């Protein structure tokens, strides 16, 4: 029995992916670009073991066994990585060497997110990235990360971007077989370590449209999407890469907000329309614009972005993060003890967190530009930053016991 355990990070796009040109192979209608967030706060953790004795593939997700055969997208990842392992085994045989025939073994997969799926944070990206990365380690694949990203892409489109740390582009490619649709690292996390993020988990009663379903409605019905794909995104991708290379937060911030807004605009242009932003989301956008508009030197100090849900992710340089957190905590007070998660210890106490909210030097800041929202409108605030790609953990971190069964099973 061979067992490997790895984690993979969440990524939040600043140039958005929305629309597939091939739904089977998961080939997108445009390039996208994301920032990888620290696994210290959010990650998917996956243990996979392969053993001759296993009678069939088994899968436990967040402590519950699921039918692995019904998960077509996961199946794609197994098929592709097993084929690569098989090739390695054949190559070895031709050299007269012997590799353990792992490609023919059944596997047990156990995967957990360290954040509730219900939080609405993209868990499929980190989950599928962890799966593919762990399979690659299990099988000792020699392929580079971009080659693996092609496989992860077939599990969940944006998963391909979670195989790298830092700043990652998913190049849409042009080939019908998808062989050139893969992720590349634009810059590593060490290039711009000052870039931090605040995740605002926004409460919402409505269950939104799934992104898989939503994006194809947009492809099929939005007249504006085609213009976005053809004219807008190519220009923005080039500008965004340049901004990242130059650590130019002004361009990065403006493009991030514009692209988030355009993504939600094409959702609204879909018929019937798709909404992900609610009144809380929009108030966060408004207070970020007020904060930026009153900045003492006229420069942007923060940038919001929203995926297919009401949660805000606010990117900002480290030096602004303290006042951004105070601002959000003031207008969107928490209602639970675990409201604020800050591994970087910016505040010494909850008192400290809410002691003041007016950003220093913002003379024209209008306190009444939005009201103070009911407690719990934002349920969690998670302080994080750009960080590294998937990690291999030690055996002591395994989610499976020596029999290849989950150490923890939920009721």
Which residues inside 370-399 make contact with a copy of itself, applying CB under 8 A?
371
Q: Sign of torsion, CA 253 32 16 174?
A: positive
State the alpha helices, DSSP H only, in 222-362: 223-227, 233-245, 249-268, 279-293, 318-331, 350-353
The count of residues interacting with a copy of itself (CB under 8 A) is: 30
CA gap 373, 329 in Å, rounded: 10
Report the residue from 66, 147, 194, 269 that binds a copy of itself according to the rule CB under 8 A: 269
Shortest Å distance, C-beta 33 to a copy of itself: 17
Structure tokens that stand for 389 in this block? 């790609």
Shortest Å distance, C-beta 253 to a copy of itself: 11
Shortest Å distance, C-beta 220 to a copy of itself: 13
Pairing of strands 58-61, 27-28: unpaired
Pairing of strands 27-28, 378-385: unpaired
State the alpha helices, DSSP H only, in 173-222: 211-221
CA 291 to chain CA mean position, Å: 26
CA gap 173, 28 in Å, rounded: 9
CA gap 85, 79 in Å, rounded: 10
Shortest Å distance, C-beta 269 to a copy of itself: 4
Q: Residue 365: helix, strand or coil by DSSP?
A: coil
CA gap 394, 94 in Å, rounded: 33
Does residue 272 belong to the site contacting a copy of itself (CB under 8 A)?
yes
User: What spatial distance separates the first Cα and last Cα of the chain, rounded to whole Å?
Assistant: 27
Measured from the CB atom, the residue of 73 and 282 that comes closer to a copy of itself is 282
Does residue 282 belong to the site contacting a copy of itself (CB under 8 A)?
yes
Measured from the CB atom, the residue of 272 and 298 that comes closer to a copy of itself is 272
Say if CB 41 and CB 341 are below 8 A apart.
Answer: yes
What mask of x and - would describe binding to a copy of itself in positions 284 to 323, judged by CB under 8 A? -x---x---x------------------------------
In the Cβ-directed half-sphere of 6, how many Cα atoms lie within 13 Å?
A: 26
Shortest Å distance, C-beta 271 to a copy of itself: 5
* Stretch of 166-174, 175-183, 265-273, 321-329 lying at the interface with a copy of itself (CB under 8 A): 265-273
* Stretch of 123-131, 176-184, 270-278, 329-337 lying at the interface with a copy of itself (CB under 8 A): 270-278
CB atoms within 10 A of CB 278: 17
CA gap 135, 128 in Å, rounded: 11
Measured from the CB atom, the residue of 159 and 287 that comes closer to a copy of itself is 287
Beta-carbon contacts of residue 358 (< 8 Å; ≥ 6 apart): 365, 367
Shortest Å distance, C-beta 169 to a copy of itself: 20
Report the residue from 12, 15, 257, 327 that binds a copy of itself according to the rule CB under 8 A: 257
Angle at 65 between CA 63 and CA 71, to 5 degrees: 120
What mask of x and - would describe binding to a copy of itself in positions 203 to 242, judged by CB under 8 A? --x-----------------xx-xxx--xx----------
Burial of 366 (0-12, 13-18, 19+ CB in 10 A): exposed
Say if CB 170 and CB 292 are below 8 A apart.
Answer: no
Shortest Å distance, C-beta 11 to a copy of itself: 24
Measured from the CB atom, the residue of 87 and 226 that comes closer to a copy of itself is 226
Measured from the CB atom, the residue of 95 and 207 that comes closer to a copy of itself is 207
Does residue 97 belong to the site contacting a copy of itself (CB under 8 A)?
no
Structure tokens that stand for 182 in this block? 């893969």
Does residue 405 belong to the site contacting a copy of itself (CB under 8 A)?
no
Which residues inside 124-183 make contact with a copy of itself, applying CB under 8 A?
none
Does residue 73 belong to the site contacting a copy of itself (CB under 8 A)?
no
What mask of x and - would describe binding to a copy of itself in positions 354 to 373, judged by CB under 8 A? -----------------x--
Measured from the CB atom, the residue of 156 and 262 that comes closer to a copy of itself is 262
Report the residue from 145, 266, 324, 328 that binds a copy of itself according to the rule CB under 8 A: 266
Residues forming the site for a copy of itself (CB under 8 A): 205, 223-224, 226-228, 231-232, 254, 257-258, 261-262, 264-266, 268-273, 275, 278-279, 282, 285, 289, 293, 371
């Amino acid at each position: 029995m061979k067992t490997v355990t790895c984690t993979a990070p969440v990524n939040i796009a600043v140039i958005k992916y929305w629309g597939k040109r091939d739904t089977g192979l998961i080939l997108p209608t445009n390039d996208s670009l994301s920032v990888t967030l620290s696994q210290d706060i959010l990650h998917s953790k996956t243990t996979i073991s392969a053993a001759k004795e296993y009678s069939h593939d088994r899968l436990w997700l967040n402590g519950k066994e699921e039918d692995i055969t019904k998960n077509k997208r996961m199946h794609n990842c197994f098929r592709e990585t097993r084929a690569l392992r098989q090739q390695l085994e054949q190559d070895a045989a031709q050299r007269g060497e012997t590799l353990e025939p792992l490609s023919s073994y059944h596997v047990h997969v156990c995967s957990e997110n360290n954040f509730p799926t219900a939080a609405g944070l993209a868990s499929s990206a980190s989950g599928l990235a962890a799966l593919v990365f762990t399979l690659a380690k299990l099988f000792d694949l020699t392929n580079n990360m971009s080659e693996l990203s092609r496989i992860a892409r077939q599990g969940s489109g944006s998963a391909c971007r979670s195989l790298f740390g830092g700043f990652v582009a998913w190049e849409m490619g042009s080939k019908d077989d998808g062989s050139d649709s893969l992720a590349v690292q634009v810059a590593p996390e060490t290039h711009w370590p000052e870039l931090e993020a605040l995740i605002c988990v926004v409460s919402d009663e409505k269950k939104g449209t799934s992104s898989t379903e939503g994006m194809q409605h947009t492809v099929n019905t939005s007249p504006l999407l085609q213009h976005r794909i053809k004219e807008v995104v190519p220009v923005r991708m080039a500008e965004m890469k340049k901004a990242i290379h130059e650590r130019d937060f002004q361009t990065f911030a403006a493009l991030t907000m514009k692209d988030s807004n355009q993504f939600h605009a094409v959702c609204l242009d879909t018929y019937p329309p798709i909404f992900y932003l609610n009144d809380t989301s929009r108030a966060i956008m408004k207070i970020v614009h007020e904060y930026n508009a009153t900045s003492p030197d006229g420069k942007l100090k923060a940038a919001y972005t929203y995926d297919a849900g009401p949660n805000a992710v606010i990117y900002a340089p480290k030096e602004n993060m303290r006042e951004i957190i105070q601002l959000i905590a003031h207008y969107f007070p928490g209602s639970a003890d675990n409201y604020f998660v800050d591994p970087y210890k910016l505040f010494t106490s909850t008192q400290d967190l809410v002691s003041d909210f007016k950003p220093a030097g913002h003379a024209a800041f209008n306190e009444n530009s939005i009201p103070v929202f009911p407690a719990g409108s934002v349920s969690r605030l998670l302080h994080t930053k750009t960080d590294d790609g998937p990690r291999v953990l030690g055996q002591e971190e395994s989610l499976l016991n020596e029999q290849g069964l989950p150490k923890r099973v939920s009721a």
